[in-house]
Amino acid sequence: MRPFVTAATGATGTFVGSFPSAAALQAAQPPGNPGEHYLVERDVYGFDAKTGGWKRIGPLGGPTGATGPTGADGTMPAITVGPTGNWLVDGADTAKPAQGADGAPGVVGAIAGPFPSQAELQAARPSGPAGVYYLVGSDLYGYDPITEAWFNIGPIYFRLLYPGIFTGNSLI
């Protein structure tokens, strides 16, 4: 048996044991004895002779303690990439590569031509093969055979690559 003090009321007593839930306490000890106390999770339960049942007295614990002293400032480790390509933390090799493996090669494709709008692209080409793309303004569109829809890949800028063929970001 162990003595205790409840946080809220300051009640004292002695523990007989503990249970994971109030239902488990009631099932194991239906007729308790006055003065018996059990811990159920963080709460103290005592037997109430007047009602013949178990009553929650309150949470176990005492008053909040004083604030402790402030700890020392932490230091930021030096993180670098070593000569083997692994991450180094404060000079120690982590054996973790700083760069992942190369990805799969991209899909090669061709720009088949321009359309003034997405609606006109969809009307003229209800579907498309993989690797064939169309320009709508300065946006590149590709066909997704899974969703069976054209999707906007994003803007594409040709003026730096082919200054005499394209004006602005669109075909002439």
Question: What confidence tier does 25 reach under pLDDT thresholds 50, 70, 90?
Answer: confident
pLDDT band at 102 (very low <50, low <70, confident <90, very high): confident
Q: Which of 62, 6, 64 is nearest to 37 (CA)?
A: 6
pLDDT of 9 reads 56
Three-class DSSP category at 143: strand
Sequence ranges of the domains in the chain: 2-59, 110-171
Comparison of pLDDT for 95 and 52, the residue scoring more: 95
Q: Is the pLDDT of residue 113 over 70?
A: yes
Burial class (CB in 10 A: 0-12, 13-18, 19+), 32: buried
CA separation for the pair 115, 102 (Å, rounded): 35
Q: Output the pLDDT for position 85.
A: 92
Quick one: average pLDDT of 89-96? Answer: 94
Give the tens place of pLDDT for each residue, 163-172.
554 444 444 3
pLDDT in tens, 31-63: 777 777 888 988 888 888 888 888 888 887 767
CB 25 within 8 Å of CB 38: yes
